[in-house]
């Protein structure tokens, strides 16, 4: 079976992107996997530190590893936005395929120092366990909130976008496998429309960095911007807020219309279907499937 690294390399060659979708519960995992399997495309399941605490770090890894083993399917698990070496290490030790160390708020050199420590540990763990663990880090600022926003988060601006020369230096100094840049993307969905992406900047960063690029904050981005970003060098795209909103709205609607229903497998089904539809549409777009 293909490794995550091989799937990302293949995505780059084909000029498509792998969808990365976060989960907080089992229902979302079922919906995401069902959509990916219908299209026969690789998929990455992400859990932030908060999502891990709610779902269970080891439980998530075990479930996804079992799906991969049972079905022989390229489904992978990522420790999304971990903010310390210790948290990063715990997810790697649990068996995650990749992890993101996010210390973007630190000054450049301090950020590099923490990331280097994580990369060194992941390499050591890979050699010891016979695994291929990928390490990703973020450079540039895109905010941190996964919700519907009234305006752009404070600090997100043209000035905080990633510069190609900084990307080259950061990758060279840290040895990361994947880079998440700031190129007009923002975590969350901004009322009135998210900012436009900058494909030219993406292309410059990909050439300078020399490693695959990941687009965070994919929720709320226009379809044409996604396509342009993939053509410019984006190989993985994160979606979270969109599926959270779909889940919430479908569940709320069903409960309002069926206030006496208390069976979870009945009132959660519309929420699962709503997430499935969002993921299916995004995966079709990311993979050029009509």
- Residue 38 belongs to a domain with what CATH number? 3.20.20.70
Which candidate in 71, 80, 129, 223 is catalytic? 80
Q: Is 80 a catalytic residue?
A: yes
Write the pLDDT tens digit of every residue in 30-66: 999 999 999 999 999 999 999 999 999 999 999 999 9
The phi-psi region of residue 173 (left if phi > 0; otherwise alpha if psi is between -120 and 50; otherwise beta) is alpha
80 contact partners, CB below 8 Å, separation of at least 6: 20, 22, 46, 47, 48, 51, 100, 238
pTM of this prediction? 0.96
Q: How confident is the model at residue 92 (pLDDT cuts 50, 70, 90)?
A: very high
Determine the structural domain holding residue 176 and report its residue range.
Answer: 4-286
233 contact partners, CB below 8 Å, separation of at least 6: 12, 202, 203, 205, 206, 207, 212, 213
Number of domains in the chain: 1
Q: How far apart are CA 146 and CA 244, in angstroms?
A: 9
Question: Per-residue pLDDT for 150 more than 80?
Answer: no
Average pLDDT, the chain: 96
Q: How far apart are CA 54 and CA 129, in angstroms?
A: 27
């Amino acid at each position: 079976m293909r490794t995550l690294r091989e799937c990302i390399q293949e995505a780059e060659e084909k000029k498509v992107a792998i969808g990365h979708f976060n989960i907080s519960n089992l229902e979302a995992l079922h919906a995401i996997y069902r959509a990916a399997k219908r299209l026969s495309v690789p998929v990455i399941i992400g859990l932030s530190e908060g999502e891990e605490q709610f779902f269970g770090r080891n439980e998530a890894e075990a479930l996804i590893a079992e799906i991969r083993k049972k079905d022989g399917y390229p489904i992978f698990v990522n420790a999304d936005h971990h903010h310390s070496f210790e948290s990063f290490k715990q997810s790697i030790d649990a068996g995650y395929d990749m992890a993101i160390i996010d210390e973007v708020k630190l000054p450049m050199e301090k950020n590099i120092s923490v990331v280097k420590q994580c990369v060194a540990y992941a390499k050591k763990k890979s050699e010891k366990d016979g695994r291929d663990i990928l390490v990703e880090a973020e450079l540039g600022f895109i905010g941190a909130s996964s919700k519907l926003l009234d305006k752009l988060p404070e600090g997100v601006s043209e000035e905080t976008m990633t510069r190609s020369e900084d990307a080259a230096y950061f990758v060279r100094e840290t040895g990361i496998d994947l880079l998440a840049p700031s190129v007009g993307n923002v975590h969350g969905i901004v009322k009135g429309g998210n900012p436009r992406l900058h494909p030219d900047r993406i292309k410059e960063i990909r050439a300078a960095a020399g490693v695959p690029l990941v687009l965070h904050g994919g929720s709320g981005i226009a379809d044409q911007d996604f396509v342009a970003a993939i053509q410019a060098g984006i190989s993985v795209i994160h979606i979270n807020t969109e599926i959270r909103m779909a889940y919430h709205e479908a569940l709320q609607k069903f409960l309002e219309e069926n206030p006496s229903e208390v069976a979870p497998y009945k009132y959660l089904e519309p929420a699962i279907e709503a997430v499935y539809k969002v993921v299916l549409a995004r995966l079709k777009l990311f993979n050029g499937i009509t």
